[in-house]
């Protein structure tokens, strides 16, 4: 028996929504194939596209952990092997580990007859993320469910799918510069002033309100992050200039995607997104860094089955 699934890249944090808001991106992601086998438990047969950097130890790989946790959640004892094809660069801020986990959980669920719903796979994927990058769901939730997701709680998982204004387009620019999540977390402030906390709470509330009302002006005003982005932007060569260039080109807002170094911008239309992407790329070129551009509708599907 065999099953295969694809899970998309994600933009997590989304400005002020640190660890609580994430967005699925169309067209790029990871693919996982699972098969029944004779080797006990969950094993990794091979990994393609990681340049030998990811662990094949099933206790240290998010795809294998998510698969094992899915079997546990379903109450099924099975022996499966995993083939992981990386379509996402490592340490890029695009939810690489989450995409692997989501694809593995979904494919495993398909292999055993789909006893679990997509939302039931959130827990197994959170456990996988917790083993490698922290206990959060702002990547795995949109990777599984698609669209824009607010994570109200991880224990237990409590998720809210937010509406998106029509025509909203996402630009993601990934510089050729690795930034491990651990390094990006280490620069975060341990404490923030009460006034900053209040302002950040208001920003998240404004962002959610703008999604429901379709108010792009409010959305633009609510994307600024006063805590995490200022702490991390110095880790991304040319990053601050690229964010300013995005705003100058007409983007509604721009910030760091996940832990970085990828940056994202939200734009009113595909035309605006094109101008924004080129402006951001130029700033990285001026910093002597190559970059990759990806544009996507803001409202995209999550994990799905693909033919083996």
The verdict on whether 129 is a catalytic residue reads yes
CB 86 within 8 A of CB 79: no
Q: Residue 10 catalytic?
A: no
Residue 260 falls in which region: left (phi positive, over 0), alpha (psi -120 to 50) or beta: left
Q: What is the DSSP string of 262-298?
A: -EEEEESSHHHHHHHHHHHHHHHHHTT--EEEEEEES
Side-chain-facing half-sphere of 64: CA atoms under 13 Å: 23
d(CA 97, CA 37): 24
Q: Which of 33, 129, 154, 276 is catalytic?
A: 129
Which string of DSSP letters, residue by residue, matches 62-75? HHHHHHHHHHHHHT
Among 154, 181, 229, 276, the one annotated catalytic: 181
For 108-114, the CB contacts below 8 A with 24+ separation are: 108/3, 108/34, 108/66, 108/67, 108/70, 108/71, 108/80, 109/70, 109/74, 110/3, 110/5, 110/305, 111/1, 111/2, 111/3, 111/34, 111/35, 111/36, 111/78, 111/80, 112/71, 112/74, 112/76, 112/78
Cβ–Cβ < 8 Å for 248, 276: no
| 73, 76, 80, 84: CA torsion to nearest 10 | -20
| Contact indicator for 275, 250 with CB cutoff of 8 Å | yes
Structure tokens at 138: 């702002």
Strand 80-85 to 42-48 pairing: parallel
Q: Which residues are catalytic?
A: 129, 181
């Amino acid at each position: 028996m065999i099953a295969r699934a694809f899970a998309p890249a994600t933009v997590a944090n989304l400005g002020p929504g640190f660890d609580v808001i994430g967005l699925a991106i169309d067209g790029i992601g990871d693919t996982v194939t699972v098969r029944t086998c004779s080797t006990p438990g969950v094993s990794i047969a091979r990994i393609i596209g990681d340049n030998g950097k990811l662990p094949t130890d099933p206790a240290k790989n998010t795809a294998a952990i998510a698969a094992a946790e899915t079997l546990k959640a379903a109450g099924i004892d099975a022996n499966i092997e995993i083939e992981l094809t990386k379509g996402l660069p490592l340490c890029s801020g695009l939810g690489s580990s989450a995409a692997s986990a989501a694809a593995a959980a979904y494919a495993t669920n398909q292999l055993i007859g789909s006893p679990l719903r997509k939302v039931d796979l959130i827990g197994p994927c959170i456990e996988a993320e917790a083993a490698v990058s922290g206990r959060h769901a702002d990547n795995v939730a949109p990777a599984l469910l698609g669209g824009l997701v607010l994570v109200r709680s991880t224990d237990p998982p409590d998720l809210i799918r937010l509406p998106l204004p029509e025509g909203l387009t996402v630009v993601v620019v990934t510089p050729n510069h690795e930034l491990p999540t651990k390094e990006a977390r280490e620069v975060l402030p341990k404490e923030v002033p009460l006034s900053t906390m209040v302002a950040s709470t208001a920003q998240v509330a404004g962002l959610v309100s703008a999604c429901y009302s379709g108010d792009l002006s409010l959305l633009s005003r609510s994307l600024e992050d006063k805590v995490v982005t200022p702490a991390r932007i110095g880790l991304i060569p040319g990053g601050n200039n690229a964010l300013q260039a995005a705003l100058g080109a007409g983007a509604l807002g721009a910030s760091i995607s996940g832990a970085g170094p990828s940056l994202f911008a939200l734009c009113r239309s595909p035309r605006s997104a094109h101008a924004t992407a080129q402006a951001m790329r130029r700033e990285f070129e001026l910093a002597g860094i190559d970059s990759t551009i990806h544009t996507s509708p803001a409202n995209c599907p999550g994990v799905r089955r693909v033919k083996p």
